Amino acid sequence: MYEIVLVFHVIVALLLIGLILMQQGKGAQAGAAFGSGASQTVFGSQGSGGFLSRATGTLAAIFFVLNLFLAFWINKTHRPTTVVAPSEKAAPAVPSTEGDIPE
């Protein structure tokens, strides 16, 4: 299950990167007014702004939810281990009089 969610998470991340790179900057509209901009007929007369913005927002929300899910999953299944192993018994504060203590 974890591997499937992780693969889906990577795919969403790559799609999100691609959508962000496809979007035009805010200054691109002025260049298009003088004829140097490309035609935006693929996404309709209003351009790709609405579709790409909605798709980016949706993928960003999915990416955020997957991040939270993976963080909770890892925290639930993998407990952190310490570098120093805890002792099995606590050492007695005062040594006993019996045993290997010389007199």
pLDDT, the chain, mean:
75
Residue with tokens 């901009």: 37
For the entire predicted model, the pTM comes to 0.55
- Please tell me the predicted confidence (pLDDT) of residue 77: 80
DSSP secondary-structure letter at 42? G
DSSP secondary-structure letter at 84? S
Please state at what angle helix 49-77 crosses helix 2-22, rounded to 10 degrees: 150
- Please tell me the predicted confidence (pLDDT) of residue 45: 54
Domain extents in the chain: 1-17+50-78
Percent of the chain with pLDDT over 90: 25
